[in-house]
Structure 1
Amino acid sequence: MSAQISFPVESLAGPRTVTLAYERRGAGEPLLLLHGIGHHWQAWEPVLDVLAVERDVVAVDLPGFGASPALLAPLAYDLETVVPVLGAFCAALGIERPHVAGNSLGGLLALRLGREKLVRSVTALSPAGFWSQAERRYAFTTLRAMRGAALAMPVPLIERLSRSAAGRTALTSTIYARPGRRSPQATVAETLALRGATGFHQTLAAGRTVLFADDVPAVPVTVAWGTRDRLLLRRQGVRAKHTLPDARLVRLPGCGHVPMNDDPALVARVILDGSAGTTGSGGSAGRSGGAG
């Protein structure tokens, strides 16, 4: 069972209490894990125990996702609000400058945490924010369609579909290259998490003007992209490398947008290498190489 912690965050109308759910395992240097929009901390479950052998791992449900309640007004779901919320969350747990790994929205947040010097290292898996306007519109349209489908399906239908590889493919092939590997229980849980994501529309609206255009100096950065990412196309990784010239750019062969389930061993190695301070231009980890 995950835990919850509440802490104050300043707003224009005075302090507001934020409550976040999280899972914490392992020992070693702290590592914060951030999921993508509509997901929950359990997206990291395929790699969590491997990471916990070497790191004090904290996987958090972002505000308005998973078991974390919605933000209280006037707190918004933009980067200028959520990044300080995550900083306050770490402080509440007694964690100082953790390593951070994030996927999609979580990757974007990880990079912003790095730019604010709130973390020791950044590993961003298919991070948002390196899109063209056409690519952003495509991604947002796809995400809205996924959310609409999840809301429209009765729970018994979701449960029935999750029992077969074909059904899991129908439910999750947009984000996984190997959806049949996802367990029935995990497929049901993440579909219900997408249905119940109270922060979904506000987060998507806040992302309309987001473009990550600044370097992250003095912090080791790894950017990794799945070769079969159908949501944020892998050419966005090349743009990320131009924006972050000192970052290590890693290709994840055969992986989709949420690669932790497609190749847990490779993704865990990329994160552990990144949080060990491995740097270099266009380096590789495991079976990975330069993205293209």
Structure 2
Amino acid sequence: MSAEVSFTIDTPLGSRSTSVTYRREGSGEPLLLLHGIGHHHQAWDPVFDLLAADRDVIAIDLPGFGASPALPDGVSYGLATVVPVLGALCEALGVDRPHVAGNSLGGLLALELGREKLVRSVTALSPAGFWTPSERQYAFAMLRTMRRAAAALPLPVIERMSRTAAGRTALTSTIYARPARRSPAAVVAETLALRDAPGFEQTLLAGQGVRFTDDVPGLPVTVAWGSKDRLLLRRQGVRAKLTVPGARLVRLPGCGHVPMNDDPALVTRVILDGSRPVAAAPVRPTTQLA
């Protein structure tokens, strides 16, 4: 079941209250899960229970997405603002330096949390920020096209399309390599989440000039990329490895941009391996992208 937590953040206009919707279950070391732009915390449902068997898992709706309200007026959706908001969220939840796993936008935020030393480890699945200008332009155009398509479809049409494998493919094949595996209810919910997210355009605007160019020393970092990612092409993983030389770079065969649905067992294993205490972390050779 989802819950909501309210807390105070600093803004250019002074202290303001905001809130975040989240799902929390399990026990063990804390693990924060961050979804991508236009998505919601249910993106992690295919792996949530598997992770909760070993971790205290907290999957959130980022501010302005899913059931979380938009940030207060005048507050930017840039990294310099959202990362402190996530820090304040962890404090409100009583979590000290969790492990973090993020996908796409969430992967970029996870890396930035690592750079700020606010987390114990980072697992970034197809993270944003390692693009060239043309690759960023392509990704943003695809995202806007998906949102326009979602907005143009009446709810009865979305529900009817979600009942067939072909319809689910039409609605979600940009982000999933195996869209037919997604349940009809999940496809409806995430299509509406994309259509209705108040933070969507402001997040894209804030991301126009974003590139992740700093190392993340002193923390275990895993970067994983789906071999069938159609939104952020897998060659960006090589750039991520060059930027963060100590990162473990993992290929996710047969997975798309949101790999949790395409191969839950593999993604769970990657996240758990990447978030083990450093002293107990298994020694494995780095798996390079093909």
TM-score scaled by structure 2? Answer: 0.97
1:13, CA displacement in angstroms?
1.1
Match of 2:288 in 1: 290
Does the CA contact (< 8 Å) of 1:41 and 1:60 recur in 2?
A: yes
Match of 2:86 in 1: 86
**1:185 and 2:185 correspond:** yes
1:290, CA displacement in angstroms?
1.5
Does the CA contact (< 8 Å) of 1:172 and 1:179 recur in 2?
A: yes
Whole-angstrom distance in 2 between the partners of 1:281 and 1:112: 25
1:274, CA displacement in angstroms?
0.3
Does the CA contact (< 8 Å) of 1:62 and 1:68 recur in 2?
A: yes
**1:271 and 2:271 correspond:** yes
Q: Which moved more, 1:274-283 or 1:88-97?
A: 274-283
- SS of 1:10 mapped into structure 2: strand
Match of 1:231 in 2: 231
1:74, CA displacement in angstroms?
1.8
4+ long deviations beyond 3 Å? 277-282
- 1:50 to 1:226, Cα distance in 2 relative to 1, 3 A: same
Match of 2:45 in 1: 45
Whole-angstrom distance in 2 between the partners of 1:230 and 1:49: 27
Provide, for residues 204-261 of structure 1, a one-character-per-residue CA deviation record: whole Å limited to 9, x for no partner: 1000000000000101100000000000000000000000000000000000000000
1:279, CA displacement in angstroms?
7.8
Q: Which amino acid aligns with 2:58?
A: V
Whole-angstrom distance in 2 between the partners of 1:77 and 1:266: 31
1:36, CA displacement in angstroms?
0.0
Q: Which moved more, 1:11-20 or 1:143-152?
A: 11-20
Listed as ranges, the gaps of 5+ residues in structure 2 are none
Provide, for residues 82-110 of structure 1, a one-character-per-residue CA deviation record: whole Å limited to 9, x for no partner: 00000000000000000000000000000
Whole-angstrom distance in 2 between the partners of 1:282 and 1:88: 36
Match of 1:170 in 2: 170
TM-score scaled by structure 1? Answer: 0.97
Whole-angstrom distance in 2 between the partners of 1:269 and 1:244: 21
Matches within 5 A, 1:74-223: 74-223=74-223
Instruction: Percent identity, please.
Output: 71
Match of 1:286 in 2: none
- SS of 2:50 mapped into structure 1: helix
Does the CA contact (< 8 Å) of 1:249 and 1:282 recur in 2?
A: no
Whole-angstrom distance in 1 between the partners of 2:44 and 2:289: 23
Count the aligned residue pairs.
287
Listed as ranges, the gaps of 5+ residues in structure 1 are 284-288
